Amino acid sequence: DQQVKQNSPSLSVQEGRISILNCDYTNSMFDYFLWYKKYPAEGPTFLISISSIKDKNEDGRFTVFLNKSAKHLSLHIVPSQPGDSAVYFCAAKLDSGSARQLTFGSGTQLTVLP
Amino acid sequence: EPEVTQTPSHQVTQMGQEVILRCVPISNHLYFYWYRQILGQKVEFLVSFYNNEISEKSEIFDDQFSVERPDGSNFTLKIRSTKLEDSAMYFCASSHRASSYNSPLHFGNGTRLTVT
C-alpha cells in the first residue's frame, strides 16, 4: 500500500543551496501533511506541517508547499546546512482531529556537502 | 524540552519468547502510539491508544501484540511469541491532542528488537 511515496531515496546538495524534497500521495482524503527529520539512532523529529486547506507553510528556513490537484507536496530548505543531513519522511493523515494513524513515505536521505 | 523515552534501546530475544517494550510518553500527552520500522523499509503504524483503549490498529497488530498503560506514566507494547520478522526498530510516540495541525506526534528514540 503505497499511499505516500517519496520517489527519491537520496539527495545531495551543496551547503548554502536549496534542498527540495518531494512527496506524492494517492489518497485525496488526506487532510494533514507533515515532514519529519530522522538522524541515525534517533526517532523521527517533527519539522513542519500543512493543512489541506493551505498551499504553503513557512517556518524559518523550511517551507512546505502543497499542490492538492497534483497530490504533491514538497519541502524546501534554504539555505541548506550540513546539520540538515538526515533522512526526511513525508507523512499524511486522514481526519486531522482523530487519533488515526500517520502514513509515512519511505524517506529521502539528504546529504548537505560542506 | 520534554521527551518520549523508550527502554531498552536494544533488545535481543529468541524466537518464541515474549518481549515487553517500554515507553514513557510526555507527561501531559493523552494519545499514545506505536510504530515500527523494519531495516530499510518505511515507518509503519501499529496501534494508537487513547482513554485506556485502542483507538486504531493496523493489520500488523495481530493477536500476538498487545498494549497497556499499567500506571499513569508507562505505555508498553508486548509481543507474546516473537517471530524473526518482528525484528525492527519500534518507536513509541505521543501527542497532546489527536495528532492535528497544532499537535504533532513526538517520537522516542526507539527500541531495536532483534529476534534470533
Q: What confidence tens digit (pLDDT) does each residue in A53-110 have?
A: 999 999 999 999 999 999 999 999 999 999 999 999 999 988 655 656 788 999 999 9
Which residues in chain A have their CB less than 8 angstroms from residue B55's CB?
A: 98-100
Show the DSSP H helices in chain B as ranges.
none
- Using the Cβ of B100 and the Cβ atoms of chain A, whether some distance falls under 8 Å is answered with yes
Tell the residue number behind the cell numbers 514538497, with chain if given: A74
Contact between chains at A105 and B42 (C-beta distance less than 8 A): yes
Q: Nearest CA of chain A to the CA of B19: how many Å?
A: 20
pLDDT band at B101 (very low <50, low <70, confident <90, very high): low
- Alpha helices per DSSP H over A4-103: none
Q: Are the beta carbons of B100 and A32 separated by less than 8 Å?
A: yes
What was the pLDDT predicted at B115? 97
- Closest approach of A50 to chain B, Cα-based (Å): 7
pLDDT tens profile A5-53: 999 999 999 999 999 999 999 999 898 899 999 998 889 999 999 999 9
How far, in whole angstroms, is CA B101 from its chain's centroid? Answer: 22
Contact B109 A41 (CB under 8 A): yes
Q: What is the pLDDT of residues B68-82, one digit of tens each?
A: 998 878 999 999 999
